[in-house]
A = this chain, B = another copy of it.
Amino acid sequence: MSREKVVSLSVGSGGKQMQDFIEEIIHTKFSNDILLQSSDSAILDISHGIESGKLAFTTDSFIVQPEFFTGGDIGKLSICGTVNDLAVSGAVPKYISLSLIIPEGYKYDNLERVLTSIQQEVFKSGVKIVTGDTKVMPIGTLDSILINTAGIGEIVKDLTKFSNISLGDNVIVTSDIARHSMAIMLARDEFGFVGDIETDSASLNKMMESVYGYDIKFARDATRGGLSTVLNEIASKIDFGIEIHEDRIPIRKDVESLCKTLGFDPLSLANEGVIVLIVSRRDTNKVIEVLHSNEYGKEASVIGEVSTCKNVVLNTFIGGRRYVEVPHGEILPRIC
């Protein structure tokens, strides 16, 4: 049996092995004009002009454990996460930086798998990786690969302003919740459960672009901290509250059961393919219609509205009313 090829410290040292790694692996997988000409920085030509005069700029580090799970891996997440952060800001994602921090001894096969996922997602979302960095940490100092991406997009319509939100606006979630967290839990294999819950991780920029033409007031993806955190942040920044209805929150039966069994509140769990949209009443139906025609928006639902209540109020299945709290403590670590 031949020894498996693994990543050595020299790949991160700045010398010959790093140059080879970048030329043979990174440049081959992510070939584009800008990347190939990149030296210390990528040069981005915006001389054709940015119509809105505004760029969106974001960053995210990915530390998920395990690195591979049903429907995705850390590589796919690292592109979708940054693409979605740009898309919910109202930007068309354009340029991505890719920074890898790899443990010494990491299997080349796994690295290949992660990089292939990145390549596929870059292609799907239509962004370009234009600059990057590779570091290797000595054995015993890091237990898994880490990825940071930063992204630049061209703002079409600024969706980050809480001040655009009005009383009576509707609250839409674009997909069923809590799937990503439960996919990770199953992949950890700590509880003896078997199932095929897939992460919802997906690049949602094309779906967002299809609704920019409507009266969307605000958007945010419900990642770490889940729906609870996003709704509470919105409520804390406006003069009104948000009222939501449990029976309208889309969640898959198997996901819901697993959450109940494990004692998690699905509202507080991380998603990687769920966006919260605040939409005027006038355009709500049209937006839902457009979302339903997208593969990632089939479960889109109007879950509530901006109301005169305080904070975030949940109307439960059984007719009760309770405040939705911002999660405290650890929730689930290393979920993204």
Q: Which of A148-156, A164-172, A193-201 contacts B (4 or more CB under 8 A)?
A: A148-156
A91 on the B face (CB < 8 A): yes
For the complex formed, measure the closest distance between the CB of A159 and the CB atoms of chain B, giving whole angstroms.
9
A45 on the B face (CB < 8 A): yes
Q: Once the chains bind, are B270 and A86 in contact (CB under 8 Å)?
A: no
Q: Which of A67-75, A93-101, A240-248, A305-313 contacts B (4 or more CB under 8 A)?
A: A93-101
A176 on the B face (CB < 8 A): no
Q: Once the chains bind, are B226 and A333 in contact (CB under 8 Å)?
A: no
- Chain B contacts of A15 at CB under 8 A? 224-225, 229, 268, 326-329, 331
C-alpha gap A333/B16 in the complex (Å) = 14
- Chain B contacts of A58 at CB under 8 A? 40-42, 97, 131
Partner of A99, one of B18, B148, B152, B160: B148
C-alpha gap A63/B268 in the complex (Å) = 32
Q: Once the chains bind, are A13 and B91 in contact (CB under 8 Å)?
A: no
Q: How many copies does the complex hold?
A: 2
For the complex formed, measure the closest distance between the CB of A282 and the CB atoms of chain B, giving whole angstroms.
24
Majority-rule SS of A interface residues: mixed
A121 on the B face (CB < 8 A): no
For the complex formed, measure the closest distance between the CB of A149 and the CB atoms of chain B, giving whole angstroms.
8
A158 on the B face (CB < 8 A): yes
Q: Which of A24-32, A105-113, A134-142 contacts B (4 or more CB under 8 A)?
A: A134-142
Could you give 24 example pairs across A and B, Cβ below 8 Å?
A: A10-B331, A13-B329, A13-B330, A13-B332, A14-B270, A14-B327, A15-B326, A40-B84, A41-B89, A43-B55, A43-B160, A44-B54, A44-B57, A46-B55, A47-B52, A47-B53, A57-B152, A59-B98, A59-B99, A59-B131, A59-B150, A63-B135, A136-B333, A148-B150
